[in-house]
Amino acid sequence: MPAPAPDPDAELMLRVKRGDRGAFEELLNRWRQPVLNFVARQLHDDDEAEDVAQHVFVQVWKTAARYEPTSRFTTWLFTIARNLALNELRRRGRHPAVPLDEPQDTGEAEIPRQHVDARTAPPADEAQLRELERKIEEALAALPEPQRTAILLFRDTEMSYDDIARVLKCSVSATKSVIHRGRETLKARLKPYLRTGAWAPAAGPETFPARRG
Amino acid sequence: MADLASNESLDALLRRSLTAEQRAALEHKLGTAAAEDLALARALARLPDKPVASNFNARVLAALDHPLAAPVAPPWWTALLRPRWAAAAGVALAAMLALAGWQQHARRLQAGTFRPIAALGALDQLSPAVLQDFDAIQRYASGPAAGVDFELLESLQ
């Protein structure tokens, strides 16, 4: 069995454990964007996500003494991020705040009919792409939390099935199953949009905004 | 097995870090049968980053200076919850419980053994007049030494 690759973030985290603020800032610069993406897509609210993401890093600092480099740093980081996001979702559940200006769109049945007809539409323009992105964000938000977490971690980080399983606190096979179900649910919900051909151009990371801020 | 490999390839398509070449190779491998998966992967890959506030770091670092954000050393007992110590702590706890149980059992056994002997010792203090009814007393007893009727003995005294 090959030895696991050294985790540079774990090295930094061990320095943070000794109170090294420079190492903490390095981790902050490296991971703030993925953490913010993750939390924002869990909460579906960018403003709240900013506060929660900042709190994630404060918690990383506060609990650094408990960090053990037996697993990857990302497992530790995203376990904290997931727990804080879940706390926020639970708090919201107890004190729901329904936006007045935005209808709740959570299922396939609520997809507007004109988008079903979009499969015959001309190539997507910028506005249409934004609309499709919004639909994908909504479909992600409507996934059960473990499916959303697994898919987001798989997409945004280099975490392995094993690392994601540790965050979800389940087995590797269960994690694979969760990702599979999440993919299937997203395909079902987004079927009309996926058929439009709007996503046809092959897209590598170089066409995207910078991944880490 | 093929399904498993295919599923893992479909999952791999979700990776945002894929280069265009890696993505093209995966798409070629999966073929047209997975057209919807390919479209979903492309769609997910294109979701933009959430905007990070320019003062994000400053706010986090300011929060660290707050007294409540000082690193907190975990209580000593949390070390027992770590995997390397949890097994040892579990074994030690089980051994302590077993020892306590054994000691309690030994005490009970000892008390049960010596009580009739002590009672027999008390017979020395009885007068000969009392002992003349010994046969009658013995008939009331249901067992050997353990069946000594202390109440009857006391009343006879």
Instruction: Give the chain A residue nearest B59 (alpha carbons).
Output: A54
**Share of residues in chain B with pLDDT > 90 (%):** 15
Rounded mean pLDDT of B118-136? Answer: 68
DSSP alpha helix (H) spans, B14-82 = 20-30, 35-45, 56-64
pLDDT in tens, A145-202: 999 999 999 988 889 999 999 999 999 999 999 999 999 999 999 888 877 666 655 4
C-alpha span between A110 and A127 (Å, rounded): 20
Residues 89-108 of A with CB under 8 A from B: none
Tell me whether residues B8 and A133 touch, CB distance under 8 A. Answer: no
pLDDT tens-digit profile of B64-112? Answer: 887 665 555 556 666 666 666 777 888 888 899 999 999 998 888 887 7
- The pLDDT, as a whole number, for residue B2 is 47
pLDDT, average across residues A42-59: 93
Cα within 13 Å of Cα(B14), Cβ side: 26
Spatial neighbors of A146 by CB under 8 A, at least 6 apart, are: A168, A170, A178
Query: Where residue A126 falls among pLDDT bands split at 50, 70, 90?
Result: confident
Place of tokens 């000794």: A18
User: How far is it, in rounded angstroms, from Cα A87 to Cα A51?
Assistant: 13
Does A27 contact B at CB distance below 8 Å? no
What was the pLDDT predicted at A213? 38
Which of A:165-184 have CB within 8 Å of B?
176, 179-180, 183
Cβ-contact B49, A210 below 8 angstroms: yes
Which has more confidence, B115 or A55? Answer: A55
Q: What is the DSSP string of A97-143?
A: ---SSS----SGGGS-HHHHGGGGSPSP-HHHHHHHHHHHHHHHHHS
Cβ atoms within 10 A of the Cβ of A140, count? 23
Q: What is the pLDDT of residue B62?
A: 92
| Nearest Cβ partner for B43 among A37, A194, A213 | A194
Q: Output A3 or A34, whichever has higher pLDDT.
A: A34
| Whole-number percent of chain A with pLDDT over 90 | 54
Dig out the tokens for A158 from the structure.
Answer: 């280099």
Q: Which are the contacts of B70, defined by CB distance < 8 A and separation ≥ 6? A: A62
Query: Is A54 in CB contact (< 8 Å) with chain B?
Result: yes
Helices marked H in chain B — which ranges?
A: 2-13, 20-30, 35-45, 56-64, 83-122, 128-131, 134-140, 150-156
**Are the beta carbons of A201 and A123 closer than 8 angstroms?**
no
pTM: predicted TM-score of the whole model, two decimal places = 0.64
Given a cut of 60, is residue B157 above it in pLDDT? yes
Structure tokens at B66: 């707050």
CB contact under 8 A, B44 and A136: yes
Residues near A148 by beta carbon (within 8 Å), at least 6 away in sequence: A41, A42, A140, A141, A182
Residues in Cβ contact with A93 at an 8 Å cutoff, skipping those fewer than 6 apart? none
B49 and A61: CB-CB below 8 Å? no
CA atoms within 13 A on the CB side of A176: 12
A58 in Cβ contact with A80 (< 8 Å)? no
Answer yes or no: is pLDDT of A99 > 70: no
Report the 10 Å Cβ neighbour count for A204: 16
Residues A177/A167, Cβ–Cβ less than 8 Å: no
C-alpha A72 chain-centroid distance = 18
Predicted pLDDT of residue B144:
53
C-beta atoms of A203 and B82 within 8 A = no
- Residue B36 near residue A198 (C-beta atoms within 8 A): no
Give the list of residues 6+ apart from residue A101 with CB closer than 8 angstroms, or none. Answer: none
Identify the band that residue B125 occupies on the pLDDT scale cut at 50, 70 and 90. Answer: low
Q: Look at residue B24 and tell me whether its pLDDT is greater than 70.
A: yes
Most confident of A81-85, B2-6, B108-112: A81-85
Question: Residue with structure tokens 């079902």?
Answer: A188
pLDDT band at residue B44, thresholds of 50, 70 and 90? confident
Lowest mean pLDDT among A62-71, A184-193, B137-146: B137-146
Contacts of A200 in chain B (CB under 8 A): 39, 42
- Residue tagged 């001309």 (tokens): A122
Q: ipTM above 0.85? A: no
Please tell me the predicted confidence (pLDDT) of residue A39. 96
Burial class (CB in 10 A: 0-12, 13-18, 19+), A34: buried
Return the pLDDT at B74. Answer: 57
Residue A74, pLDDT > 90, answer yes
Q: Are A7 and A69 in contact (CB under 8 A)?
A: yes
Residue A151 is which amino acid? Answer: I
pLDDT, residue A125, reads 72
pLDDT reading at B127 higher than 70 = no
pLDDT of residue B77: 64
